Structure 1
């Protein structure tokens, strides 16, 4: 999602004490809505994460940005409460809601105290089922979106991302900005937002993760109350798409002393049997911070950048292997050359046993730290369902990592890394770098 591949394998945030083991239950509501639950009754607190698959990729033709704008309005008043009334109610209950969209999903989160359970659930239900979309709120949030679009037009990183996406995905929703364009956003009507709401917030594409002071019975009632009256289904998802990435360089002229480069090639899907080998390979090549090969070669040895990174971006409808680097206009060409050389060398020679052991140690050691709070775990539960992982995955994940051999990684390096089709989009005024 753009929960990209490594999101479920790396990272940690702090909240509650870390748990040695997470017991995940599958819950089905009386109305047939499914969810995953981790009961934790030590604190009177509940975290709920809801994802509606499809997200902004379900924008109607000619209405780009409708789902993004609609999502931004879900917290701007619902039911009998206008925007100000909704904000006051959440504050009075010490309840926190989050609403966001991506090309993969519309995400809604709720965090509330057990003592305010019924009132918080009622607010969440109305926000999801009965958004007001009042005219004044539409114009206010529309103005915020247009302001963001205006800013992104002068942000080198955004320019690079949009240029690469358009090249790789063309007319597919992945090829255009989910926020829309100034023209498409300006033309959106309230009816367009109602249509977006009806198309995306549907029961047969909803995933739920719940953690905290809540029983399966309570969660079942919550699911039916919050989601039960939504449409059963919506329009079909867009088709899967293979990114069209040819080797070479695209230069976008931009007046700045430092160039930004986004690079990428075809990727690997979550369900590929070699996915864990690819994760370990990336950890060594560009995902391992200061210890990665790219960081060592581009920054530490040559001082060409402050940072260079790569990641597996395995999405619902496509997969790519991406990276980024920035450097002075007079040095970006050399940075690109070094990255290409490392890509080719790793494809041809693989990695060492020492590098593999270090990557395994990091990935297996960091993983348990992710399960350190209700909010974090609720998001993980939804993320696991999104990419089709089984409910026991958290118990077997590190074992799967440990089973990967050096021969596995070397083979995958040769099959996955494709230096001849590694493309760089460079935004700036790079010296000696041309379109090719």
Structure 2
């Protein structure tokens, strides 16, 4: 058992106080691994469960099955229908959240210590004994179809879906997680059951528990909660690659403000240069008003309310992407400035002052993320999924401080590729056309 102590600021009361986190790695008698933080100050437990794979595990021709299945997990289990479940959950003052993403199915549970056994039994039924009643399938399917129809009218979603389709083609990354009107309409109860069997399996499992519980009690608890799930699921898809070359795609859409999504291939999370890339991206298009793009596109020229970029290292592909919205008659200028800044950081790099400013911000902001049991549980399960160890919470700021000006500029010259930058613009932009 590994014990790691990390000092951070945690908001347990109205006043932010100094506290410590003690991450304990445990393995249940049944072989389920988990990270645990004992925090007895509040009689409350936060649990995060991740199943690696998510909507990328949709079977061919069944796009949207995992997403629909996830939406049905709260619609009754065992001997309880949807209404019975809601009544039981409210009586326990427990909360459960279920969300499906490209690479994971995420489950969040929050409950009082005094209701622990009942809350966990209710969660166990949801995970192991979902009913998937036909009336619930029809009701949730209608909600999903309504969401898909709404997305078809949203410029940002249209841009994102077009970018993904061009970049990833037939790979699951290339189509919407929720599916299409046609694919979701065609899904049967058997498809939902198969999606549940394929995704919720112990070989894909990551767990973190934070709160008023002893680490030695977590293992038996997890065996009871998750031990009845299948041992293995369907194979993961192959790597997606990135097929989108540099250029411009304009999608005509009647809106006064055009939306542009832009980017190209990125960097793997376990690359030795990832921290340098992360910091270079922060300087170019990171959060807040201090990035180059915010300064040049918004502050200096007033072309947008906001612009930002992100490194997106997924399990089967890597991207660096950004988004900006501007009026149809100014989006071309916003894109031209973005291209120029993309090329400038690639050719000129960053300054020593920018690097030091980024280090100050990133090292100062990191401890503030550990704000309560919920956030700690989410951070820990994310660390597990990306192959990090508990030491990371201690070492992370050292990794940031270790980045040198020579390193970040070497990485920036390789990471930012102006010739490969592709813009997908949705709107009626003046002076732009597909190329």
What TM-score bracket applies, with the shorter chain setting the length?
over 0.9
Looking at structure 2, the residues matched to 370 and 267 of structure 1 have their Cα atoms a distance apart, in angstroms, of 25
**Which runs of 5 or more residues in structure 2 are unaligned?**
1-8
Is 1:27 the counterpart of 2:23? The answer is no
What's the counterpart of residue 190 of structure 2? 191
Looking at structure 2, the residues matched to 78 and 14 of structure 1 have their Cα atoms a distance apart, in angstroms, of 35
Deviations 1:235-283 (A, max 9, x none): 1100112211211100000001110000001101110000000111011
Deviations 1:292-325 (A, max 9, x none): 0001001111111111100101111111000000
Please tell me whether the aligned partners of residues 19 and 372 of structure 1 are also in contact (alpha carbons under 8 angstroms): no
Please tell me whether the aligned partners of residues 294 and 339 of structure 1 are also in contact (alpha carbons under 8 angstroms): yes
What's the counterpart of residue 171 of structure 2? 172
Looking at structure 2, the residues matched to 328 and 307 of structure 1 have their Cα atoms a distance apart, in angstroms, of 13
What's the counterpart of residue 106 of structure 2? 107
Alignment of 1:241-252 (within 5 A): 241-252=240-251
What's the counterpart of residue 365 of structure 2? 366
What's the counterpart of residue 94 of structure 2? 95
Superposed displacement of residue 215, structure 1: 1.1
Please tell me whether the aligned partners of residues 277 and 409 of structure 1 are also in contact (alpha carbons under 8 angstroms): yes
Is 1:41 the counterpart of 2:37? The answer is no
Superposed displacement of residue 153, structure 1: 0.4
Superposed displacement of residue 21, structure 1: 3.6
What's the counterpart of residue 335 of structure 1? 334
The residue matched to 1:224 in structure 2 has which SS? Answer: helix
Please tell me whether the aligned partners of residues 10 and 17 of structure 2 are also in contact (alpha carbons under 8 angstroms): no
Q: Which moved more, 1:215-224 or 1:161-170?
A: 215-224
Please tell me whether the aligned partners of residues 18 and 369 of structure 1 are also in contact (alpha carbons under 8 angstroms): no
What's the counterpart of residue 405 of structure 1? 404
Deviations 1:144-197 (A, max 9, x none): 000000000010000000000000000000000010001110111111110000
Looking at structure 2, the residues matched to 345 and 334 of structure 1 have their Cα atoms a distance apart, in angstroms, of 16
Q: Which moved more, 1:236-245 or 1:354-363?
A: 236-245
Looking at structure 1, the residues matched to 17 and 152 of structure 2 have their Cα atoms a distance apart, in angstroms, of 42
Please tell me whether the aligned partners of residues 22 and 394 of structure 1 are also in contact (alpha carbons under 8 angstroms): no
What's the counterpart of residue 301 of structure 1? 300
Superposed displacement of residue 221, structure 1: 1.4
Relative to the length of structure 1, the TM-score reads: 0.96
Is 1:62 the counterpart of 2:61? The answer is yes
Deviations 1:103-149 (A, max 9, x none): 11111111000000110010010000000111111111000000000
Please tell me whether the aligned partners of residues 311 and 323 of structure 1 are also in contact (alpha carbons under 8 angstroms): yes
Superposed displacement of residue 217, structure 1: 2.3
**Which runs of 5 or more residues in structure 1 are unaligned?**
1-11
What's the counterpart of residue 127 of structure 1? 126
Relative to the length of structure 2, the TM-score reads: 0.96
What's the counterpart of residue 142 of structure 1? 141
